Structure 1
Amino acid sequence: MNILITGCSSGIGYYCAHALHTAGHTVVASCRKASDVMRLKAEGLHCVQLDMDDENSIEQGLEATLKLTGGKLDLLFNNAAYGQPGALEDLPTEALRKQFETNLFGWHHLTRAVIPVMLENGGGKIIQNSSVLGLVAMKYRGAYNASKFALEGYTDTLRLELEDTPIHVSLIEPGPIESQFRANAKAMFEQYIDIDSSRHQPNYRNILSRLGKTSATSKFTLGPESVMARVEAIINAATPKPRYYVTQPTYIVGFLRRILPSQWLDKLLGKSD
């Protein structure tokens, strides 16, 4: 199977690229930075530079991918994303635009380019790596929440529009996974949020402390292999499911969202920073 995975410099993308390569698939990993591309190539992977914030880079990255796969692509795993922390009232519009550019608009541009390739080749599968925060909202995660809620609606619509084609579309919805997510989020938090002038300053100090930790901050945190298991399930399924939950928190909040009134759910989710 010919596979393109975005966001492979670390975490889920990095792990899945190596695991699928080891399993015998033709994997093309993509990274935003040239230095990461060189590092992954040195590790034995096919790797191309692809910046989800740059449409030209996306097109060039896909072109380079198709050269490596002989013009065929069986699976696209949209994974490149980051989290922008901060209260919505403190978040500059520029930061929200940037969050959507990376987490949604870039995915759309790549997906649009991939669909004709898959149709010409007789089918394929598209995996969208969403989040438990695409199911429920939490404080100080509004930008990320909004991008993942949008991705959920986008993917559901895409699946309906492709149901008369041999292209299958699935969402993976992880909770806490071991990755560089917190470190990247901390950098974006410090870039865009003026902590000292915010009424949320006390909570922001707690957020910075949590984001600065290198070890897991939740007992429910799983390794990236848990996401890889869902990717394998989608690859092996003749008709993949629309959604695949990963980690216990996703199962819990998915259930609570269905049964609890919004006010009750708000009280429960509002206890966490």
Structure 2
Amino acid sequence: MKTYTPLSEQVILITGASTGIGAALANYLASQFLGIRLVLAARNQEKLETVATYCRKAGADVLVVPTDIAIFEQGKALANKAVEHFGRVDALVNNAGYGQMGPVELIPTEAVQQQFQVNLLGPLALIQALVPVMRDQGGGRIINISSLGGRLAFPFGGLYSSSKFALEGLSDALRMELDPFNIKVSVIEPGPVTTDFFAVAAQRVEQAVTNPQDTPYRAAFNRLEGLEERTSSRAWTSERVAQVIVRSLTDRNPRPRYIAATGGDILLFLMNKVLPTRAVDAFWKRFYGINEVAKDWQNRG
């Protein structure tokens, strides 16, 4: 008979743990589950150490492993260090990720590759390294942090959504493949979150697209600047999303997907099941300013 190990006795590996959702999750686990063992990974060691200090004071045993998840070998090394230190990993939370915004036409190959390396190939490296460990120890959990953008595509988010669509497809296959080994796979789908997501997205746009105002998408780029403000009223805190992740870690029979967004279930139902594609397209084109692109382009002529 399969037994359930209390979360306080588990080893949890969290990527992207230096800020945002990852840091909030680490802090929450440390404060609520005395004695829990945490493996915290991200690129910024200084920020990681700040999170680790809080967690240790709360009673957690913490291993900090600075890692660039975009580098496949570093992901494998992270898994190995976690197992070497604690002897096991009970749950992997693939949280590290970012959104490459901008029109698909203009995103350079290097930025496309980086998006998929961080959002898909990095999680894959950890999964491949830890599945044998989890199988040998009798089970485990893999939690992949996706997005509502992993179920809905929208203008200027083509690269981000495609990476998250891929992560969700990978998760669905893994859920079935790993079930015989008592390894449970779940996806978390946040909506807008009050993190530095939009600041990072804006930075990535600047790095990827030279002179946005000189492109045919100028009107939509102008609209993009106010995206955070337009979504702020429905944004969740990182701490609130972290509590949903904890549910996926503690539910005896975890769900395939957990939506972490106000009205997210209704939005997905309407967009994917009820409204015609033309109506959905019209909504997103207005929201992201694509409907203004044609007029702006004609006026230039």
| The two structures share one fold, judged by TM-score above 0.5 | yes
Query: What pairs with 1:1-273 in structure 2 (closer than 5 Å)?
Result: 1-23=10-32, 24=34, 25-43=36-54, 44=56, 45-69=62-86, 71-194=87-210, 195-210=212-227, 217-256=231-270, 257-273=272-288
Secondary structure of the corresponding residue to residue 188 of structure 1: helix
Letter in 1 for 2:248: I
Cα-Cα RMSD: 1.7
Task: String of CA shifts for 1:235-257, please: whole Å, max 9, x gaps.
Answer: 22121010111112422321111
Larger radius of gyration, structure 1 or 2?
2
Q: Is the 8 Å Cα contact of residues 40 and 47 (structure 1) preserved in structure 2?
A: no
Q: Is the 8 Å Cα contact of residues 17 and 28 (structure 1) preserved in structure 2?
A: no
Q: TM-score, normalised by structure 2?
A: 0.84
Task: String of CA shifts for 1:187-226, please: whole Å, max 9, x gaps.
Answer: 1110001213311112212323446x7xx84311111222
Provide the C-alpha distance between the structure 1 equivalents of 2:226 and 2:252, rounded to a whole number of angstroms: 45
Q: TM-score, normalised by structure 1?
A: 0.93
Provide the C-alpha distance between the structure 2 equivalents of 1:39 and 1:60, rounded to a whole number of angstroms: 22
Identity over aligned pairs, percent? 33
Task: String of CA shifts for 1:55-76, please: whole Å, max 9, x gaps.
Answer: 221122222222332x111110
Letter in 1 for 2:126: L
Residue-pair matches, total: 269
**Offset of residue 36 of structure 1:** 2.7
Q: Is the 8 Å Cα contact of residues 175 and 249 (structure 1) preserved in structure 2?
A: no
Secondary structure of the corresponding residue to residue 181 of structure 2: coil
Provide the C-alpha distance between the structure 1 equivalents of 2:231 and 2:85, rounded to a whole number of angstroms: 39
Letter in 1 for 2:113: R
Letter in 1 for 2:28: A
Provide the C-alpha distance between the structure 1 equivalents of 2:25 and 2:13, rounded to a whole number of angstroms: 11
**Structure 2 gap ranges (5+):** 1-9, 57-61, 289-301
Q: Which sits farther off after the overlay, 256-265 or 32-41?
A: 32-41
Q: Which sits farther off after the overlay, 34-43 or 263-272?
A: 34-43
Q: Which sits farther off after the overlay, 232-241 or 107-116?
A: 232-241
Higher helix share: 2
Q: Which sits farther off after the overlay, 200-209 or 37-46?
A: 37-46
Q: Which sits farther off after the overlay, 250-259 or 138-147?
A: 250-259
Letter in 2 for 1:34: Q
Q: Which sits farther off after the overlay, 148-157 or 245-254?
A: 245-254
- Please list every run of at least 4 consecutive aligned residues from structure 1 whose deviation after the TM superposition is greater than 6 angstroms: none
Task: String of CA shifts for 1:149-194, please: whole Å, max 9, x gaps.
Answer: 1111111111111122200000011101111111111111100012
Q: Is the 8 Å Cα contact of residues 5 and 30 (structure 1) preserved in structure 2?
A: yes
1:67–1:22 CA distance, 2 compared to 1 (3 A): farther
Provide the C-alpha distance between the structure 1 equivalents of 2:156 and 2:263, rounded to a whole number of angstroms: 18
